[in-house]
Amino acid sequence: MRRLSIEAGRTILEIYDRDDLGVRQKEDSSPVTEADEAADVLISAGLRAEFPDLPLVTEEQSSTHDLNAKTFLIVDPLDGTKEFVKRRGDFTVNIALVEEGKPTLGVVFAPAKNRLFLTLPEGGAIEESGSFDAENPGNTTPIHVSQPNNQALRVVASKSHRDQATDDYIGRYAVDDMVSAGSSLKFCLVATGEADFYPRLGPTMEWDTAAGHAVLSAAGGEVFNKETHAPLAYGKPSFRNPFFLAFSPGVALVEG
């Protein structure tokens, strides 16, 4: 998963450096680029070769997923396409393993930001730094969520999908610092302790969140359904997520 994320990141950056990103509109009017499709082909081929017995769902191939599977791989080959098109750099490659409705392993690579976050098979999460050689891991640092101060929370919110409902909800907390970020980097900023809380009151799909969710969980964090405060589950029909809250466990969540 690590190797494929780095190889896909290289492919994405090659296209990112071009004048023409090959942007077109999908049926749901969301943008897709040549980079989304090239990364999808690369990652899908690699995962199917390594794990031929596991169902695979990707953003670009979601209709091929066996809805009855309890264990499956889920991929967003280019999360944050809007950030990619606007050349903001806040885009990621997301690869995750889901077991019994829970993302247990995940890799989030932000190639333009030179940040790579991974879960460990034995538990815990790390951030890797260095040259991001696909075959040889660089230096790694264990990551863990912060102990938040509920009188001075650090909140991270979506850069491209911020709305009044989100601002109103955030306004119910005592916020000391607000950061905007794109893609699944928001989960990772909570995982590293750079932020305490990421509320998402907008539409997302499971491939948007699974890898970041896995990293955050491994770093000691939680992701809850906003309305029920139950853990966010995976393998849902249509892969559509409810509104959710990603946070360090010390955050005192408000009801409703």
SS3 194: coil
**For position 166, which CATH number holds?**
3.40.190.80
Domain boundary (124, 143, 162) is at 143
- pLDDT at position 122 is 95
> What's the average model confidence in pLDDT over 73-98?
94
Res. 239: pLDDT tops 60: yes
Whole-number Å distance between alpha carbons of 218 and 124: 5
- Residue 164 tokens, joined: 């009044």
Counting residues of the chain whose pLDDT is more than 90, the rounded percentage is 82
Q: With a cut of 80, say whether residue 66 has pLDDT above it.
A: no
Same domain, 67 and 13: yes
Indicate if 122 and 232 belong to the same structural domain.
no
**pLDDT reading at 63 higher than 70:** no
Number of domains observed in the structure of the chain: 2
User: What pLDDT, on a 0 to 100 scale, did the predictor assign at position 151?
Assistant: 98
- Reported as a single tens digit per residue, the pLDDT across 142-159 is 999 999 999 999 999 987
Domain for residue 255, yes or no? no
Instruction: Identify whether 254 is part of a domain.
Output: no
* Residue pLDDT, tens place only, 27-41: 665 778 899 999 999
pLDDT of residue 173: 97
Which pLDDT score, from 0 to 100, does residue 162 have?
Answer: 72
Q: Is 256 contained in some domain? A: no
CA dist., res. 251 & res. 169, Å (int): 14
pTM: 0.95
H-run or E-run covering 159: none
Residue 148 belongs to a domain: no
Going by C-alpha positions, the residue among 103, 126, 243, 242 that lies closest to residue 188 is 126
- Other C-beta atoms closer than 10 Å to the C-beta of 256 total 7
Domain span including residue 24: 2-143
User: Where residue 161 falls among pLDDT bands split at 50, 70, 90?
Assistant: low
CA of 65: how far to CAs of 36, 43, 68, 198, 239, in Å? Answer: 19, 16, 9, 28, 10
End position of a domain, from candidates 143, 169, 199: 143
Sheet with 222-225, side-by-side order of all strands: 175-181, 153-158, 197-200, 244-247, 222-225
Q: Are residues 137 and 161 in the same domain?
A: no
User: Are residues 199 and 118 part of one domain?
Assistant: no
Are residues 117 and 205 both part of a single domain?
no
Of 95, 120, 143, which residue is a domain's last? 143
86: CATH = 3.30.540.10
Burial 111-146 (b: 16+ CB within 10 A, else e): bbbebbbbbeeeeebbbbeeebeeeebeeeeebebb
Contact between 107 and 211 under an 8 Å Cβ cutoff? The reply is yes
Query: Do residues 211 and 191 both lie within one domain?
Result: yes
